[in-house]
Structure 1
Amino acid sequence: MKLDNVIKNKNENSRQYAYRVIKENIMVLNIEPGECISEIELGNLLNISRTPIREALVRLTEEKLIDVFPQKGSFVSKIDLKLVEEALFLRDLCEKKLLTMACEDKIPEPLLKSLEKNLAYQKIIIDFDENLHKFFDLDNEFHSIIFEYYGKSNVWKSIKRLATHFDRLRLIDALQISNATKTFEQHQEIVNIIKYKKIDIIDSFVSEHLSKFKHVISTYLKRYPHYFLK
């Protein structure tokens, strides 16, 4: 088992540390969907006792990232397309509403500045073929900036808690450079929608931006069949 980001933060207790490291590594697919989880192995890798490991796994089970099968053990949840659909539904509603608010607002210069700065970093990664995991982080940050600007940071946090299966699918997609380029172009259009108040295209554009994964799911089902819940 490969784990990244294993340096313990000063303000973390063992339970928080175990939860953060295990979840982050599940979300970036270092611990793959369907992979067996060993409390002993995790304890050795993180150099902590099994109790905080077990507490972290209970929390991750509640978040639908771990499945526990009696007599078999604990496994990383496979990507459930029903949960992907639920996350898409919620993001579709919220992002259409937020972009409408942005278009009805006077030109939100601080928001546009933050989004354009984020886009500049996205472009660097694409142009120089840098780490696409970082592009994925910037993608999430781009959308969170809009939620936070309009005082909806808790809504974004709720979406992220629901979107664990959707986000793992998004990561698979984002790690293809051609798909990252397409996402970047769509983010540019979001900035244009806000800047030029293109309120009439919000519904169709957001639906297209979020549902593009539906068109490639069959490809990933064939390429990574062991990642998905049948």
Structure 2
Amino acid sequence: MMVQDAQDRSVQGAVYRTLKEGIMTLRLAPGTVMSTKEMAERLHVSRTPVREAFIRLQSEELVDIIPQRETVVSRINLLRVEQERFVRESLELPVIDLFLQNCRPEHFAQLRESIEEQKRCYTEKRYADFVGADNRMHQLFFDVAGQHLAWELIMNSNGHYNRIRVLTVQVEDTIVSTIRQHCQMVDLMEQGQTEAVRREMNRHVKRINVEKANLVQRYPDYFKNDNEPQGIRIGSL
């Protein structure tokens, strides 16, 4: 019985992670309609782990469940984006001081390697991978600062903020500017200019506020509004 329970939990976790990754990378776009039956067939599992994954994703505001009808990938909520951005800013700015107190030369080398990875993602137009590389770079700040719980909190509550970031980096000026900002921040860190780093980080995190209006205009069906349009049919995972 315990072995079977472990297997069931493993399947449930795999289904949840697969669906969440699809949502976070926009392969499952906002507004995508999903059915339990269809997803179970696509993932070659029973309906139970799919239903449980939907419930878990709903608790994270990543899907909207309409009882007896359908499950829809939630549209990006700009109010939620701002709240998630605020959480990140509130936690990340103090972490920079701790990072600079504890960092060593090899950590700067890791940051440089991350920037090179971001450049490759940009060249190859792998935008979701770029955001992943960006996240790993910022995670290093928290790891070196010894603030693992703070980073976990950010990652567990960034579904709307992360998705809008995947959209922003598809804009040429934005992704180039992001890479340039990262280079500037690492330069300042190596020089020990703490206040300058904090100012640059603050501008970096708040940049999304400037870009939101253009994104809503460019991707109107991806954002939550008072008159929700019909969901689009699910694409391939």
User: What range describes the TM-score normalised by the shorter chain of this pair?
Assistant: 0.7 to 0.9
Matched residue, 1:85: 82
Matched residue, 2:4: none
Cα distance in structure 2, aligned partners of 1:27 and 1:132: 12
Q: Compared with structure 1, are the counterparts of its residues 50 and 63 closer, same or farther at alpha carbon in structure 2 (3 Å cutoff)?
A: same
Alignment partner for residue 69 of structure 1, among 52, 66, 69? 66
Matched residue, 2:218: 223
Cα distance in structure 2, aligned partners of 1:114 and 1:11: 38
Deviating more after overlay: 175-184 vs 153-162: 175-184
Matched residue, 2:29: 32
Question: Is residue 158 from structure 1 mapped to residue 153 from structure 2 by the alignment?
Answer: yes
Question: Is residue 46 from structure 1 mapped to residue 48 from structure 2 by the alignment?
Answer: no
Query: 1:13 aligns to what SS in structure 2?
Result: helix
Cα distance in structure 2, aligned partners of 1:26 and 1:222: 21
Judge conservation of contact 2:36–2:50 (CA < 8 Å) in 1. Answer: yes
Cα distance in structure 2, aligned partners of 1:41 and 1:194: 50
Cα distance in structure 2, aligned partners of 1:163 and 1:99: 20
Q: Compared with structure 1, are the counterparts of its residues 209 and 44 closer, same or farther at alpha carbon in structure 2 (3 Å cutoff)?
A: same
Question: Is residue 95 from structure 1 mapped to residue 92 from structure 2 by the alignment?
Answer: yes
Judge conservation of contact 1:125–1:132 (CA < 8 Å) in 2. Answer: yes
Matched residue, 1:115: 111
Q: Deviation of residue 204 (structure 1)?
A: 2.8
Query: 1:216 aligns to what SS in structure 2?
Result: helix
Matched residue, 2:187: 192
Identity of aligned residues (%): 27
Question: Is residue 172 from structure 1 mapped to residue 167 from structure 2 by the alignment?
Answer: yes
- Say how many residue pairs are matched: 219
Q: Deviation of residue 90 (structure 1)?
A: 1.4
- Structure 2 segments unaligned to the other structure (5+ residues): 1-6, 226-237
Q: Deviation of residue 106 (structure 1)?
A: 6.4
Judge conservation of contact 2:39–2:50 (CA < 8 Å) in 1. Answer: yes
- Code of the residue aligned with 1:143 in structure 2: it is H
Q: Deviation of residue 117 (structure 1)?
A: 1.4
Judge conservation of contact 1:102–1:194 (CA < 8 Å) in 2. Answer: no
Query: 1:74 aligns to what SS in structure 2?
Result: strand
Matched residue, 1:132: 127
Judge conservation of contact 2:96–2:198 (CA < 8 Å) in 1. Answer: no
Instruction: Compare relative contact order (CA 8 Å, sep 6+) and give the higher one, 1 or 2.
Output: 2
Question: Is residue 211 from structure 1 mapped to residue 201 from structure 2 by the alignment?
Answer: no
Q: Deviation of residue 154 (structure 1)?
A: 2.2
Judge conservation of contact 1:174–1:180 (CA < 8 Å) in 2. Answer: yes
Cα distance in structure 2, aligned partners of 1:139 and 1:31: 21
Judge conservation of contact 2:102–2:145 (CA < 8 Å) in 1. Answer: no
Deviating more after overlay: 76-85 vs 107-116: 107-116
